[in-house]
Structure 1
């Protein structure tokens, strides 16, 4: 049958065979190029991920150092705030004992010193710049979830601590106008700033009802101060645990 093929037919068959061979060759070449491109892209992603992981780990350590410095400042401030609150609580207890005693035994100077102590404050001012920055910038994701949970717990407790301080301050301010009708606040100002007392000291408590109101307002301040002291201690405990965890994870 091949003998009956014309030269044109034989040429067509040869062309088809050549095209078919070229297609097979091109398919293999395309597959090879595609595979090399896939490898290059995959390697690029891998290298980029490794680079990002390295940058994140390095940034996490820097942020951990900054967070640790903030927490250590908080620890010192909390320890001082606890000490002050405990001393103030004792002073207020002594002050209330004196007010419950017969008026003939009252020491006017001691009463002025006591009320001055009631109005003396030492609020805890947290150093939370690093955590706030990480939260707003999204860099908290650089840390593992367990550590983030501890950071969040510290921040949540911080809100409670600050809230309790605000309640104490409110109770003190509610006491101020009433106390000003009983005592000479010019004297309390001199005592607060360790100046010599040059003003007249007087105590204007006309009846038992006025005295009881005065005592109740002081008790309110003391009660709120006690709750604030509890929050200080919880804050300090959570902070200590967080400090140890950061030191352990980042070998600081």
Structure 2
């Protein structure tokens, strides 16, 4: 018995074209969907980084407010003493020892998230380029404030400290650190208050007999004046950072809400 096989009927050109269009459309839609998904992931990642960065900016502002509040009184005390010394007013060694404030308040720019964003290339994920510029500008200002506090103020503080050690009798240094502003440091050693109480008469007697040379007083006045000047410049830097803070936070909030 003879078997008849059906003849293969070739597809028409229209059918080939239809299949091609359908295949092309499927690939294209898959590609578009993947791009959209990646875009959504990148946008979400940018928002997460911005939220973390925002907490850094807020934390910096709180730190600056705290530093300015804590640093104002020492600045005023040292400036008054500096004027007395430089105008050659009568001032005892005890008053000098009781007046000098050696505390140093330094600002450290919290920029861990910013560095992570910069090093990982995540800044490019933020679509608002002006916001990126504002973030960078803020960091430059905050870095400047940190540099002045850590490099310039610290260097001057070390010079002042060495000057005091070299030119003041040990009793004056001891009395300086008996000041209540250093109580937190002094209490680290529980025996410290008892030692001061025990030797106070000897310490004060030696200080009363100490007469600092006019040149030493003038140089001390210069050192204190330099310290105060650098602290004032730091305050100006802090104010510049604060001036950029509120607008930057508003722009970040707007970006987070609209994206």
TM-score w.r.t. length of structure 1: 0.79
Q: What is the deviation of 1:233?
A: 0.6
**CA distances 1:209-229 after superposition (whole Å, capped 9, x unpaired):** 332222212211111111111
RMSD of aligned alpha carbons: 2.7
173, 182, 186: which is aligned to 1:185?
Answer: 173
Q: Does 1:38 align with 2:24?
A: yes
Q: What is the deviation of 1:122?
A: 1.8
54, 58, 69: which is aligned to 1:68?
Answer: 54
Question: For the pair shown, which has the larger CA radius of gyration, 1 or 2?
Answer: 1
For 1:67 and 1:109, the matched residues in 2 are separated by 49
Query: Where does 1:165-204 land on structure 2 (aligned, <5 Å)?
Result: 165=149, 166-183=151-168, 184-191=172-179, 192-194=181-183, 197=196, 198=199, 200-201=203-204, 202=207, 203=210
Q: Which runs of 5+ in 2 are unaligned?
A: 1-8, 187-192
C-alpha contact 1:74 1:126 (8 A) present in aligned 2: yes
Query: Which residue does the alignment assign to 2:99?
Result: 114
Q: What is the deviation of 1:26?
A: 6.2
C-alpha contact 2:109 2:143 (8 A) present in aligned 1: no
C-alpha contact 1:182 1:204 (8 A) present in aligned 2: no
For 1:132 and 1:31, the matched residues in 2 are separated by 53
122, 134, 138: which is aligned to 2:117?
Answer: 134
Q: 1:28 to 1:204 in 2, by over 3 A?
A: farther
How many pairs are equivalent? 228
Q: What is the deviation of 1:114?
A: 2.6
For 1:213 and 1:173, the matched residues in 2 are separated by 15
TM-score w.r.t. length of structure 2: 0.77
